[in-house]
Structure 1
């Protein structure tokens, strides 16, 4: 009987549920803070599907082959940001980083709106990374049917790489029950079991 209760308790804890607690506010990683002080806008250079080549080569556990991506670079070529998974950022002509999950989104006509993502992670590297080169190459190849473009050459000139994940629409993200809800459900289950 006790092992059944423990199993039931573990099952309760593993079920997904939207928390009534305050939403998680991601903290800007130290290596990414330069983006907050920058007034430079990053322009969307290419968007498409996450390529099989990158999926196989980098084995990113957050990604699936059907996921979307978009690549952004400022005119200075100081850095390149790859926005992975379906994101509102993919519909921006250019972006400016405010927080990990908060952006200014500009359209091609100069209109501006704020994009707040529910769940996001950002990883900044103080050096150029191979992933962005490969993603840009595959994206341009998919979009234009050719590679070795000026855009691809500019990607190689970037000094820092940024990987950004948006989990807003991702079914693989699970919301754990708040501790208080799990305890209440456990007490109800115990009461029902002891009643019968």
Structure 2
């Protein structure tokens, strides 16, 4: 009788252990399934670049192609050819130099010594459109933002990192189609800063 009770107790303990681990496996599988379902159902995050108007997308493509070409070039003569190709492509795209409702990220909100607004908007990490930052350079382009004007008031409420929608026009240039402010050839190709006269800007 004692032997029977001993075996019965052993069998009972074994059944309890099997039941415990069986329930634990079910909980683990259920948690994994829920986690997988949650991951699958998360919506794909939209990139800011996806909201660019077609003209801006093409502009970025042209300039990025020149950036890649310049970085891969063996000498400045090759870079000169790349710049000429970029100039032709941009002139073909920007017939009247004006653009509307482009999208970018604020990089600089500042003023010059006269209190006029200085603004830089990044289209990508390496491509910017901007006003001049001094009156001498701006003497014929008139890109600096005049205080108490609607564009000055709108820009002054922005901060670095804000995404914005903006309109305006590029400054025409005989050599490069649109004016670019870099001093050197490599900088102008690989981190171009195009001079721009803003007419409208608003948070996105």
Highest relative contact order (Cα 8 Å, sep 6+), 1 or 2? 1
- Identify whether the pair has TM-score above 0.5, normalized to the shorter chain: no
- What TM-score, normalized to structure 2? 0.23
- Name the TM-score, length of structure 1 as normaliser: 0.23
Where is the helix percentage greater, Structure 1 or Structure 2? Answer: 2
